Amino acid sequence: MENLVKRFIKYVKVETSSDESSIVVPSTPNQLAFAKELAQELSSIGLSDVSVDDKGYVMATLPANIEKTVPVVGFIAHMDTSPDMSGLNVKPKIIENYKGGDIVLNEEESIILSPKDFPELIDHIGMDLITTDGTTLLGADNKAGIAEIVTAMEYLVKHPSIKHGTIRIGFTPDEEIGRGADHFDVEKFKADFAYTIDGGPIGELQYENFNACRAHITIQGRNVHPGSAKNKMINSITIATELNSMLPVHQVPEATEMYEGFFHIVHFEGSVEKTKTVYIIRDHSKEKFQEKKQLITEAVAFLNKKYGHIITLDLKDSYYNMREKIEPVIHIVDMAKKAMEDIGIRPIIEPIRGGTDGARLSYMGLPCPNIFTGGLNYHGKYEYVSIQGMEKATYTILRIIEMLAE
């Protein structure tokens, strides 16, 4: 597994943040450059049918080495990192045999990864951790997944005595901005089912996710001198805060867990004259999801009636809960669960409080549950991954492949 760590560290040093404001695909040029590098690597380790299209989607095949027909399985990960924090000049640090307690990420800036704030660290005592230096995210989401998939394929090529059917590999751009499956060619991929390797802690196995949409709201105010503003000024900032106060105060990310949905304001930019806000709306229940969309729509309508049609609302669905597409083929979840158990992992089957490419791919005809990578605290400077977790994710991939051949 030495190559696994080297590969991961090499990948995270490549800046591949996606950009929601971009209208091209992929949204940033570095993603396409990284895709071409990955394609060269896949060819060099012995995979066939390696391709990169002009939108940055990488596909490859490890041909079967058995004669009997078994299902074609795919493994998918995304190449972009979250734009929530810089992924430029990532300087990973390896903490060998973590003994507990605080980890100083950046002494100069007093940035500390502490079990007081992140109690899951205690579960990693005795493991080797890869962290940030406190100035960037790490990029384990999802370069750990890429490294695990590539390492598993390399292992199979070097060990032809391990019997396997046809295996398909796919790497996508722009997952972090909700566009990862936009141009994924399911017909070209030719897999019966697949797994995204895009989860978190060791043992995580997921086939439920949020239904999701994004609400862009623009409020057009009227600015006049405050000394003569009575009955004239319309302060778009105060109207934006009034709208926010009309949403359920406890239905926010910081007050919810498991199957509880939320409204999450992710952008606020304004002046008296004009204010723009962006919300993401999430719920596992399709009915509650519709209720949340209806609530924000009615709140905007109420304020428009009150202030004179100065608010525009653009609601756009992002993805849906893949559960209804996975349950008819639940054996692929059971197989991943058994694979983990076979290598000594306790499966943790929980809903995703977010989404993956697999959610949309499941609705495109490619059932696609999600498997752990070993990483935690994604999208920020406190992100880390355990080397042992990455190894176990790689073993899980290999065991699933073995089980299909058996």
Cα→Cα distances 17→80, 147, 171, Å:
5, 17, 15
Helices of type H across 116-184: 140-158
Tell me if 100 sits within 8 A of 122, measured CB to CB.
yes
Ramachandran assignment for 27, one of left (phi > 0), alpha (psi -120 to 50 degrees), beta (any other): alpha
Residue 114's identity, in one-letter code, is S
If you ran DSSP here, which 8-state letter would residue 202 be given? T
For residue 315, what is the enclosing H or E element? strand 311-319
The two tokens of residue 251 are 């239905």
What Rg value do the Cα atoms of the chain yield, rounded?
23
Q: How far apart are CA 172 and CA 174, in angstroms?
A: 7
Tell me if 362 sits within 8 A of 368, measured CB to CB.
yes
**Partners of 205 in the β-ladder:** 349, 371
Residue in 80, 133, 176, 283 annotated catalytic: 80
Q: Is 291 a catalytic residue?
A: no
Q: Is 80 a catalytic residue?
A: yes
For residue 262, what is the enclosing H or E element? strand 262-270
Tell me if 33 sits within 8 A of 181, measured CB to CB.
no
Angle CA(246)–CA(82)–CA(11) in degrees, nearest 5? 165
Strand order in the sheet with 311-319: 262-270, 274-283, 211-220, 311-319
Residues in the chain: 406
Q: Measured in whole angstroms, how far is the alpha carbon of residue 60 from the centre of its chain?
A: 22
The values of phi and psi at residue 263, to 5°, are: -105, 130
User: Dihedral of the CA atoms 59, 20, 176, 323 (nearest 10)?
Assistant: -90
Tell me if 11 sits within 8 A of 79, measured CB to CB.
no
Residue in 41, 133, 141, 175 annotated catalytic: 175
Burial class (CB in 10 A: 0-12, 13-18, 19+), 244: middle
In this structure, how many other beta carbons lie within 10 angstroms of the beta carbon of residue 290?
Answer: 12
User: Any idea which residues carry the catalytic annotation?
Assistant: 80, 175
